[in-house]
Structure 1
Amino acid sequence: MDLEKKDEQPLRSVAVPVADDSSRKRRRRRCIICWSSVAGVILTLALILLILGLTVFKAKKPVLTVNSVQLQDLDFSVNPIPIRVSLNISLALDITIKNPNKVGVNYRNSSAVIQYRGKDVGNVPIPAGRIGSDDTSRLHLTLTVFADRLVSDSEIYQDILSGNLPLSTYTRIKARVRVLFVHIHVTSTSTCDVNIDIQGRKIANQTCHYKNKI
Structure 2
Amino acid sequence: MDPDLKPEYQRRQRRRRRCVLASVAALIALGLLILILALTVFRVRSATTTVNAVHLSGLHAGFNPLTLSVDLNVTLDLDITATNPNHASFKYDHGSAELYYREILAGEADIPPGEVAAEGSVHTHVVLTMLAGRLITNSALYADVASGLVLMKTHTMIPGKVSVAGIIKLHMVLFTSCDVIIDVFTQAVNNTNCSFKTKF
TM-score computed with the length of structure 2 as normaliser: 0.84
The structure 2 residue matched to 1:158, chosen from 115, 128, 143, is 143
- Cα deviations by residue, 1:159-213 (Å, 9 ceiling, x for unpaired): 1122211111111222312345221222221111011111211111111112223
Identity %: 35
Q: Which one of 142, 145, 148 corresponds to residue 127 of structure 2?
A: 142
Moved more, 50-59 or 127-136: 50-59
Q: How many residues are treated as equivalent by the alignment?
A: 195
Gaps of 5+ in 2: none
- Higher CA-based Rg: 1
Q: Any stretches of 5+ residues in structure 1 without a counterpart?
A: 1-19
Aligned pair 1:97/2:82, yes or no?
yes
In structure 2, C-alpha distance between the alignment counterparts of 1:186 and 1:25, rounded to whole Å: 59
Alignment of 1:74 onto 2:59: yes
Counterpart position of 1:6: none
RMSD: 2.4
Alignment of 1:196-211 (within 5 A): 196-211=182-197
Taking the TM superposition and a 5 Å limit, the aligned residue runs for 1:43-54 are 43-54=28-39
Quote how far apart the aligned CAs of 1:22 are: 7.5
Task: Give the counterpart letter for 1:203 in structure 2.
Answer: V
Mark the CA change 1:129 to 1:25 in structure 2 (over 3 Å): closer, same or farther. farther
Aligned residue identity for 1:107: Y
User: Is residue 2:91 matched to residue 1:106?
Assistant: yes
After the TM superposition, which of the residue ranges 192-201 and 57-66 deviates more from structure 2? 57-66
**Structure 2 residue identity aligned to 1:189:** F
Deviations 1:85-125 (A, max 9, x none): 22221101101111111111111211111111122211111
SS in 2 for 1:58: coil
Q: 1:57 deviation in Å?
A: 3.5
Tell me, what secondary structure is at the counterpart of 2:49? strand
Instruction: Select 1:185's aligned residue among 151, 167, 171.
Output: 171
Distance 1:140 1:209 in 2: 17
Q: 1:169–1:192: 8 Å Cα contact kept in structure 2?
A: yes
More strand by share: 2
SS in 2 for 1:157: helix
Distance 1:87 1:210, change over 3 A: same
How far residue 38 of structure 1 moved from its aligned partner, in angstroms, is 4.0
Aligned residue identity for 1:83: L
User: Cα distance 1:109–1:36, how it changes in 2: closer, same or farther (>3 A)?
Assistant: farther
TM value normalised by structure 1: 0.79
